[in-house]
Amino acid sequence: MTTREDYRPQAFDLERLPAQTALERSRAFLALMQTRRSIRHFSPDPVEPELIENAIRTAGSAPSGANQQPWTFVVVTSEETKRAMREAAEREEELLYRERASDEYLEAIRPIGTNAVKPHVTEAPVLIVVFEQPWRWEDGEKRKHYYVRESVGIAVGLMLASLHAAGLATLTHAPSPMGFLKEILGRPENERPFLLIPVGYPAADAEVPDLTKKSLEEIAVFD
């Protein structure tokens, strides 16, 4: 049971911006994020490590259920590890496209132009593998985490925004199934793969599908 002694408040001070400044920042951020696209063809050009570290720090600032921060971000730059991950991902994806996926799913992803070949896993200079933690060990006992997927999803969104703001391109890749990521990276029993995110600069010949986002009227209700 939570007692008053468990709650240790501190003062919070958020600068209230002038209305015009707030609008300008809001519009600039919207314009920036509207240029974000998922890409599958990366340049081998290296990425400054601090850009990755800052993006992960940004992810770590996300709200989470009971402030349990149920996430781990594994940064992979080893060519050998990336090759192993690509081979495993392509094995699973080949089975997905050939046997596991429904016709409905295959029809849904057809405009995106994907297939079982995943060059981005080895071409991108950096891979960030996100793991969720359903529970943790504490004092020799399992302690459940709450709102895990919601918390990790919010953290990933903040990380993607940070990477894009730094001029980096990304892809949210969820091989199906993803258990091989845990095995290859030697993660503990309380972690489950959530996403594989290649990060880098677009290749000179990178292409993206001609897609559009829904309008504000299609995604929002104001009552």
What local confidence, expressed as pLDDT, does residue 55 receive? 98
What local confidence, expressed as pLDDT, does residue 2 receive? 55
What local confidence, expressed as pLDDT, does residue 114 receive? 87
> Alpha carbon of 168 to those of 2, 52, 87, 203, 213: distances in Å?
43, 10, 25, 12, 21
Q: Which segments in the chain show pLDDT lower than 70?
A: 1-4
**Would you kindly state where each structural domain of the chain is located, as residue ranges?**
39-203
**Would you tell me how many other CB atoms lie within 10 Å of the CB of residue 35?**
7
What local confidence, expressed as pLDDT, does residue 182 receive? 97
What local confidence, expressed as pLDDT, does residue 203 receive? 97
Q: Does domain 39-203 have CATH number 3.30.1540.10?
A: no
